[in-house]
Amino acid sequence: MDIVLLFPGQGSQKPGMAKDLVSAHPAARELFASVDRALGAPLSTLCFDGPAEELTLTHNAQPALLAHGLAVWAVVRDRLAPFVRAAAGHSLGEFTAYAAAGALTPTAATTLVRRRGELMYEAGVRRPGAMAAVLGNLSTPSDQLCEQASREAGVVVP
């Protein structure tokens, strides 16, 4: 059996994430404790109990998702590691993949993604923006939708 690990990017966080995992598995509990120590703050409490508005902030969401992915990996690693052929991630998930593969320590990955999240948050405050996905069979081509949105909201890149 061949396995590829795939870790999600920002946007999949929600209050309550990993709460059951941490209560049931010592490896997940230790992973979250190490993340809390690395940050000098109780990120685990924010993950388990919210509030959603605070968890969604980029500088919190990114280390939270990293911790969640690494906690899941910590729980299944002994059983699955012999079968893992690759690790990948979407956006932020790349950092989780690096740590799961051993290219970054969990502590280094935690401090790195916290700083990444802080910088992204600060950039968003200086130059507010948004992102949208156009899915499905559209009667209006996406370039026309982008042109219209650009007239209404500023710069739009298809």
pLDDT of res. 156: 62
- pLDDT tens per residue, range 36-89: 999 999 999 999 999 999 999 999 999 999 999 999 999 999 999 999 999 999
pLDDT of res. 114: 97
pLDDT of res. 80: 97
The DSSP H or E segment spanning 143 is helix 142-153
pLDDT higher than 90, residue 135: no
Structural domain boundaries in the chain: 3-127, 130-158
pLDDT higher than 70, residue 136: no
Please tell us whether the domain made up of 3-127 is placed in CATH 3.40.366.10. yes
pLDDT higher than 90, residue 133: no
- pLDDT: is 115 or 155 the higher one? 115
Q: Which residues contact 37 (CB under 8 A, 6 or more apart)?
A: 107
Q: Which residues contact 53 (CB under 8 A, 6 or more apart)?
A: none
Q: What is the average pLDDT across 5-15?
A: 95
